[in-house]
Structure 1
Amino acid sequence: MTGQATFRTALLDASQPTPGGLTDGQGRPAGRRYDVYRNNVAVSLAEALETGFPTIAKLIGPGNFRAVAARFLRASPPSSPLMMRYGAGFAEFLETVKPLAHLGYLPDVARLELALRRSFHAADHTQADPAILQDLDDDALMACRMRLAPSVAVLRSAWPVVSIWAFNMRPGSPKPQARPEEAVILRAEFDPEPNVLPMGGADFLEALIRGDSFGSAMAAAGEDFDVGAVLSLLLGHRAITGIDFEDTP
């Protein structure tokens, strides 16, 4: 193991000895100072993780979260100096934590929180003029392609993931019901919001994101799909940034 790798491994694991050769400003062994530095790094990373995943922290409690965070930072040290990106693999890590296996919804809640963070940091956008849709006949509507904002994200879960998030983060929200939920993250201005989609909604939005025509997206969503509900969500959150037609260059 290289000196740099040894330094990093010990920095993230308090059970490891201080790497050899480290000294303070007066040439003395830097054991105590290194321990202080190591503790500050671990605390900072754990706080960054909790800031990014507040619902997970609330669901498992602060003590458990600190223990999980300590394991995660050793397994997945930061790969970027931008702390907003830290925790990209946290959901997958939670799937491996056996003491939390009985809380099967945790990984998807983490995915939802990560999607909210990414939506927050996504590029700003300008809404397309909604009046364009009012003037389209059925054939033109089915043939058009809708471009969605960079902040839009779709999430599928076998758990009531949005309801779990809301119950813990929005006072007064109803208790989650045991059912799967498909979600879309939308950001009208600054703060992104998760929204539960009707049946077929995820298929519809994923088709639009792929660049499929409106008609193809409708077909992917199925016969019972409530397109009006999803269009209202998109328009209400200013998520449609462009409407293209066959003759658009």
Structure 2
Amino acid sequence: MMQLQTLQSAFQDALLQDRPLEPALLDARGVLQFGVYRNAYRARLRAALRDNFEVLPLVMGDEAFDALANAYIEAHPSAHYSLRWFGHQLCSFMRANEALVDHPALVDLARMEWALRQAFDAGTAATLTAAELAAVPAADWADLCFALHPSVQLLELQWAIGPIWHALKSGQTELDPPAALNHHLLVWRQGMNTQWKSLNTAEVVFVQGLLAGQHFGQVCGALAQCVGEEGAAAAAVALLSELLHAGALGALPSQPTEISKY
């Protein structure tokens, strides 16, 4: 039994470290069979990265993406029982290894794709309906905290990667170089479909307030800095309605939370 455990441990170590087994542990046939496992293991991890980042390999090309994947596998061996989560550090790895990435916009593209994957796998939660919102007395609105759906994420990006994503998803191969653009991207899931949208300044302020757990009155106050005092309430209601119809708002708490006076 100890001999089998020793062999299993050596097999695992050699597989993870991408090196051959000690010749004394296997006969010639075993060495050949291990080589098959050794190659298939990394091929499966590269395939998992291609599944988890669908558009990124299309932009980079097979050779460049495989070089990135191999370097990532070496630096971050799979440590989770599900390959669905393999690649969770790829964005930061790309940022730290610029030589493997032809353009910095690819980091933003990878971040967007991973956020879409996270949105798809996010937990389920009841969403707010128009009827439920209409039933809230006007006097209670200022004290309400509107929760966002668990799938909602807000990304701060530096490159306009949306057009590239759309083009490749639609099968186009001729791409314009990405433009530098500081902006925010909202990502969420509606039903079984992942969604994303680029936000303007007012929308960013509004969503950031909701993510921070601010009451609706506080969010309106922050929004007034963007659109002015007179239009803040109307703008907030319009933005709230848009999030509601997009399925990005969670159900209301049973009781409104009062703003502390202290």
- Does residue 1:77 correspond to 2:77, yes or no? yes
1:210-225 matches, within 5 Å, as: 210-221=212-223, 223-224=225-226
Partner of residue 151, structure 1: 151
Alpha carbon RMSD of aligned pairs, Å? Answer: 3.0
Paired AA for residue 70 in structure 2: A
Distance, in Å, in 1 between the alignment partners of 2:237 and 2:22 is 62
Question: Which of residues 167, 170, 180 in structure 1 aligns to 2:182?
Answer: 180
- Does residue 1:239 correspond to 2:242, yes or no? no
Distance, in Å, in 1 between the alignment partners of 2:237 and 2:115 is 24
Paired AA for residue 82 in structure 2: L
Partner of residue 191, structure 2: 189
Q: Over residues 108-167 of structure 1, what are the superposed CA-to-partner deviations in whole Å (9 max), with x where a residue is unaligned?
A: 211111111111111122222223434556653232101111111111111123333223
Paired AA for residue 216 in structure 1: Q
List, as ranges, runs of 4+ consecutive aligned residues in structure 1 with deviation greater than 4 Å: 2-9, 135-139, 171-177
TM-score by length of 1: 0.83
Q: Which runs of 5+ in 1 are unaligned?
A: none
Distance, in Å, in 2 between the alignment partners of 1:228 and 1:7 is 61
Partner of residue 165, structure 2: 165
Describe the shift of the 1:61–1:103 C-alpha distance in structure 2 as closer, same or farther (beyond 3 A).
same
Partner of residue 232, structure 2: none
Distance, in Å, in 1 between the alignment partners of 2:22 and 2:203 is 54
Identity of aligned residues (%): 26
Paired AA for residue 14 in structure 2: A
Q: Which moved more, 1:100-109 or 1:88-97?
A: 100-109
Distance, in Å, in 2 between the alignment partners of 1:227 and 1:179 is 25
Distance, in Å, in 2 between the alignment partners of 1:6 and 1:222 is 64
How many pairs does the alignment contain? 242
Tell which structure's C-alpha radius of gyration is larger.
2
